[in-house]
Amino acid sequence: MRENELLSHIYRRSADLSGSFAQVVVGPGDDCAVVRTPTESLLKVDQVIEGRHFVRGTPIDLIARKAIARPVSDVAAMAGRPLAALASASIPESFAQADALFDACAAWARRFGCPLVGGDISATSAPVLSLSISVLGTPHARRGAVLRSSARPGDSLWVTGELGGSFGPDGLGRHLTFEPRVEEASWLADTLGPSLAAMLDVSDGLGMDAGRLASASGVGIRIERDAVPVAPGANGWAAALGDGEDYELLFCVRGVDRLPETTPGGTRLTRIGTVVEGSGCRLVWNGGEADVAQVGFEHGRRP
């Protein structure tokens, strides 16, 4: 792989970006891209690394998809929409598919609404492929950015979709193919306005992420164990709580008792708990409760 050839290839394929995406003023190929931006913009970076976020042998297209979908999911978790993306890759010298990988990233970035406007590639002696994607987004026009710090005691706690078992025994599974909840988040902000109180996406496990929401808001959270929607094939509530990589929305609702069973697009909405005074995240069931704010995984700790 020669960097110049690869970059030329990318620029050629990006020639029509400004035509397809009104926000792109100058696409890849100059020192910087130029993108039309709202008064306030969202910014997020996330990376996927072989052996940690995907197993060796995962199809290129799914690696690219996950790399783009992860930061897009964070934009969704603010109730925003993605506008543009940047990709950087560190690629083993022996890796022959750099071209296909960038094509796939570009295709998924378009599909998720945030065309790739820049990138950087380095071939290295490292044996491990890593991709870092930055996404620029626009907050919800009326609701504004939905922060994780705005939960208050009395809010109800909800989740989209179903949790657990996302990382299959073969390393494949939903963690590679999830749909970032951009439409769902946008619909929630449209529908609930300021009653949509705090939100994040569940990436490291419901227990740990609910604990983070509680900590950011200075509140406690109680999750009803038997209300947690468990994904088909997942190993019960423990998997739903701790597996992570679900990329579902966890959100708080204030002053509204009921929501439809699904979003207009058919994504399930489930009330799973309550925001209370105090701190931490406790799982409660008939006859017991437990602290679950550390249940999940964090990079650097997984064996």
* Contacting residues for 79 by C-beta, under 8 A, at least 6 apart: 139, 140, 143, 145, 146, 185, 186, 188, 189, 196, 199
* Residue choice 34, 172, 256, 259 for contact with a second copy (CB under 8 A): 34
| Amino acid of residue 49 | I
* Residue choice 51, 236, 255, 260 for contact with a second copy (CB under 8 A): 51
Q: Under the criterion CB under 8 A, does residue 94 sit at the interface with a second copy?
A: no
Nearer to a second copy, 216 or 276 (CB): 216
First to last CA, the chain: 34
| β-pair partners for 213 | none
Strand, coil or helix: what is 91? Answer: strand
Could you tell me which stretch among 132-140, 171-179, 234-242, 284-292 binds a second copy (CB under 8 A)? 132-140
Q: Under the criterion CB under 8 A, does residue 301 sit at the interface with a second copy?
A: yes
Could you tell me which stretch among 3-11, 100-108, 230-238, 272-280 binds a second copy (CB under 8 A)? 3-11
Q: Which of residues 174-233 bind a second copy (CB under 8 A)?
A: 199-201, 216
CB of 124 to a second copy, least distance (A): 5
How far apart are alpha carbons 186 and 155 in whole angstroms?
Answer: 20
| β-pair partners for 89 | 121, 131
* Residue choice 12, 16, 25, 289 for contact with a second copy (CB under 8 A): 25
Q: Under the criterion CB under 8 A, does residue 16 sit at the interface with a second copy?
A: no
CA-closest candidate to residue 38, choices 71, 68, 78, 66: 78
* Residue choice 42, 151, 241, 253 for contact with a second copy (CB under 8 A): 42
Q: Under the criterion CB under 8 A, does residue 235 sit at the interface with a second copy?
A: no
CB of 261 to a second copy, least distance (A): 26
Strand, coil or helix: what is 141? Answer: coil
How far apart are alpha carbons 115 and 227 in whole angstroms?
Answer: 38
| Residues 252 and 158: beta-carbon distance below 8 Å | yes
How far apart are alpha carbons 59 and 293 in whole angstroms?
Answer: 34
Nearer to a second copy, 3 or 16 (CB): 3
Q: Under the criterion CB under 8 A, does residue 300 sit at the interface with a second copy?
A: yes
Q: Under the criterion CB under 8 A, does residue 258 sit at the interface with a second copy?
A: no
Q: Which of residues 64-83 bind a second copy (CB under 8 A)?
A: 74-75, 77-78, 80
Task: Give the CA diameter of the chain.
Answer: 65
Q: Under the criterion CB under 8 A, does residue 286 sit at the interface with a second copy?
A: no
* Residue choice 20, 149, 177, 235 for contact with a second copy (CB under 8 A): 149
- Say which DSSP state 130 is in: E
Sign of CA dihedral 133, 136, 140, 146: positive
* Residue choice 17, 65, 105, 119 for contact with a second copy (CB under 8 A): 119
If phi > 0 it is left, if psi is from -120 to 50 it is alpha, else beta; for residue 28 that is beta
Interaction site with a second copy (CB under 8 A): 1-4, 6, 25-26, 29-47, 49, 51-53, 74-75, 77-78, 80, 84, 86-88, 90, 117-128, 130, 132, 134, 136-137, 139, 145, 147-149, 199-201, 216, 298-301
